[in-house]
């Protein structure tokens, strides 16, 4: 199992909308995530930052992420959620959700 964490900024004027749409994530988006071996997925918010954590249980992370990105329902979902977000200042060029490095873990 691979643990994956990432961060992005939440536009302050979009926080209420972001919370509302995530209260009812589309079933097709959830199905796509499950098919891509994503489990234990959470998004947290604090002080204008979104922090996501997920566990990946597959054998080809890059292929599964490409499958998520190719999914039409997920692409439509991103058209709605994308305007609520903006990359953190330290994100690499073209990077949306910036990966966070694990510095501690307790099982």
Domain of residue 29, residue span? 2-100
CATH code, domain with 86: 3.30.70.1090
Q: Is residue 105 part of a domain?
A: no
Q: Taking residues 44-62, what's their average pLDDT?
A: 97
How confident is the model at residue 55, as a pLDDT? 98
- Confidence grade of residue 85 (pLDDT, cut at 50, 70, 90): very high
For 9-50, write each residue's pLDDT tens digit. Answer: 999 999 999 999 999 999 999 999 999 999 999 999 999 999
Cα separation, 84 vs 12, whole angstroms: 8
Percentage above 90 pLDDT, the chain:
99
Q: 84 pLDDT band (50/70/90 cuts)?
A: very high
Handedness of CA 97, 99, 105, 107 (dihedral sign): positive
The mean predicted confidence, pLDDT, of the chain is: 97
Q: Which residues are known to be catalytic?
A: 22
Task: Give the count of domains, the chain.
Answer: 1
SS3 track for 32-56: HHHHCCEEEEEEEEECCEEEEEEEE
Residue 33, pLDDT score:
98
* 107: in domain: no
């Amino acid at each position: 199992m691979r643990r994956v964490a990432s961060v992005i900024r939440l536009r302050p004027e979009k926080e209420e909308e972001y919370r509302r749409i995530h209260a009812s994530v589309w079933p097709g988006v959830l199905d796509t995530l499950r098919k891509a071996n994503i489990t234990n997925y959470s998004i947290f918010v604090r002080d204008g930052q979104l922090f996501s954590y997920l566990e990946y249980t597959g054998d080809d992370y890059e292929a599964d992420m490409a499958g998520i990105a190719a999914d039409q329902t997920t692409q439509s979902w991103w058209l709605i959620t994308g305007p609520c977000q903006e990359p953190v200042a330290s994100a690499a060029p073209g990077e949306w959700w910036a990966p966070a490095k694990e510095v501690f873990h307790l099982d």
